[in-house]
Amino acid sequence: MSDQIITLKNLSFAYQKENNILEDINLEVFGNDFLGVIGPNGGGKTTLLKIILGLLKPDQGDVIVFDKKPKEARDLIGYVPQFLEIDLDCPVSVLDIVLMGILSRKKIFQKYDDQDFELAKEVLNFVDLWNLRDKQIGKLSGGQRQRVYIARALIRKPKLLILDEPTASIDEKSERDFWELLKEINKNSAIIIVSHDTGVVFKNVNKIACLNKNLYCHNAGEITQEVLDKTYKCDIEILGHGLPHRVLKRH
C-alpha cells in the first residue's frame, strides 16, 4: 500500500449552527487510491471536497493533507469543480485556459515563460488536444472542454486530482474516453471523484465512499445492494437520481 495522503478524523461541519451537513467523518486516502464519492444532493459531497481543499474549515475534527494543513497542500492538488466560471463566449483559447492552472504560482503581471508553455504542451498532448490549442474554448464539445479543464488541473503536476461531478454535460462516448483518461492519470496520482452515476463509478474506482451526512467507505468490490440499503435506507435507483434523504442511524 502506498503512503497515506489524506486523514480526516472525527470531522463535523455545519453551515447553520446545530444542523450538521457532515457528522463524525473518518476517512483515509492513499497515494494509489481512485476514490468515488456517491450520495444524494445535499448529502455533503461538495462540502467534503472543499474541506480537503482548505476552502472550508471544519467545526470539529482533524484534517491532514500530505502531512500538512489543507491550505498548505493546495500546490499538490489539482481540482476540477462542478461549475467552472468561464464565459464560453469569451475569446480565450484552449491554451489560455490550461495556463490559468499555474496563475497562482506567478507574480502579479509576470508573463508565462518557456517552461510554462512546455508544461501546457505536455498536458494538452496527454489529453489529446494539443492540435486544438488555439481554438476558442466555447467552440469545443462538452467532452473536449472537460479534457481541457483536466489539463488545466494537471499542469500543476498534482499528486491528487479532485473532480466534482465532471461528467454532467458530456455524451456517452466522451464519458467512456473520460474514464479511460482517469485510469491513466491514476497511475501517477490519487483521484477523488464525486458522481451521481453510481453504475459507472462502481466499474472504475477501487474505493467507494457513501456520503449522506455520515460517511461509509468500502473497497469497490465490497459494495452490495445490502450495503447501500443499510447505509441509505433506500433503493440504489433513488440514490442515483439524487433524491433528498438522510441516514437514519449508523451501522
Query: What pLDDT shows up at residue 239?
Result: 41
Q: How far apart are CA 70 and CA 53, in angstroms?
A: 6
Residue with cell string 467552472:
84
pLDDT confidence of 218, banded at 50, 70, 90? confident
C-alpha cell of residue 149: 479543464
Q: How many CA atoms lie within 13 A of 149 on its CB side?
A: 24
Query: What pLDDT shows up at residue 118?
Result: 94
For residue range 183-200, list pLDDT tens digits in order: 999 999 999 999 887 878
Which fold is adopted by the domain 78-159? Rossmann fold (3.40.50)
For residue range 77-134, list pLDDT tens digits in order: 999 987 666 666 678 899 999 998 888 776 676 788 889 999 999 999 999 999 999 9
Helices marked H in 72-169: 94-99, 114-126, 142-154
Residue spans per domain, the chain: 1-30+57-77, 78-159
CA-closest candidate to residue 126, choices 101, 157, 102 = 157
Q: Which residue has the higher pLDDT, 124 or 249?
A: 124
Residue 44 pLDDT greater than 60, yes or no: yes
First to last CA, the chain: 27
C-alpha cell of residue 42: 445535499
